[in-house]
Amino acid sequence: MRYPARLQLVAAMNPCRCGYFGDPERRCRCPLGEPERYVRRVSGPLLDRIDVRVEMGRVSAAELLDEEVPEDSETVASRIAAARSRALERNGKPNGLLTGIEAVEAAQLRKPAKDCLEELASRALLSGRGIHRVLRVARTICDLAGEDGVDEVSILAAATLREPGAGVARSPGG
């Protein structure tokens, strides 16, 4: 039997077993090379299916106690609703549900952006799935900014959000 399913996966993991690799305040206690091995335990095919990966560093006490008011949820929600509306008007569905060919069409890539994506795909060894996922995220970035076509900056921003080695390239202990 085959059951239809749509889900949004939100996951979290530590940068290493002790949890302090790359932390500016606490030293990592893991043996040399262990943080890299720890992160590599997540398989490539699984990572290839995750569109956005964000590294969250420690929030300092000063930042937590800062009196500056962050952007409120209503403002963010209205920006997201406007971007979703743009996608629905253009494609009839959200960017995340576009097929590969639909993502290419929705991106409206000009030559510089296409060249940028081709070079990125070659350097990062992106799979076909990875290329289409970068395009979907880049299209969403542009929708959030109210822009029509996907440019090189949006492609690079989308690629940065799915960087497989995020957080591992730093030296141990900060």
Domain map (residue ranges) of the chain: 73-161
Question: What's the DSSP call for residue 35?
Answer: H
* Segment 12-46, tens digit of pLDDT: 899 999 999 989 889 999 999 999 999 889 888 88
Phi, psi of 107 (to 5 degrees): -70, -30
* Segment 120-167, tens digit of pLDDT: 999 988 889 999 999 999 999 999 999 989 999 999 999 999 874 433
Residues 29, 49: Cα–Cα separation, whole Å: 31
Rg of the chain over Cα atoms, rounded to whole angstroms, equals 19
Residue 5 pLDDT grade (very low, low, confident, very high; cuts 50, 70, 90): confident
CB 94 within 8 A of CB 88: yes
CB 138 within 8 A of CB 148: no
Residues 67, 125: Cα–Cα separation, whole Å: 44
CATH class of domain segment(s) 73-161:
mainly alpha
* Segment 87-97, tens digit of pLDDT: 999 999 999 99
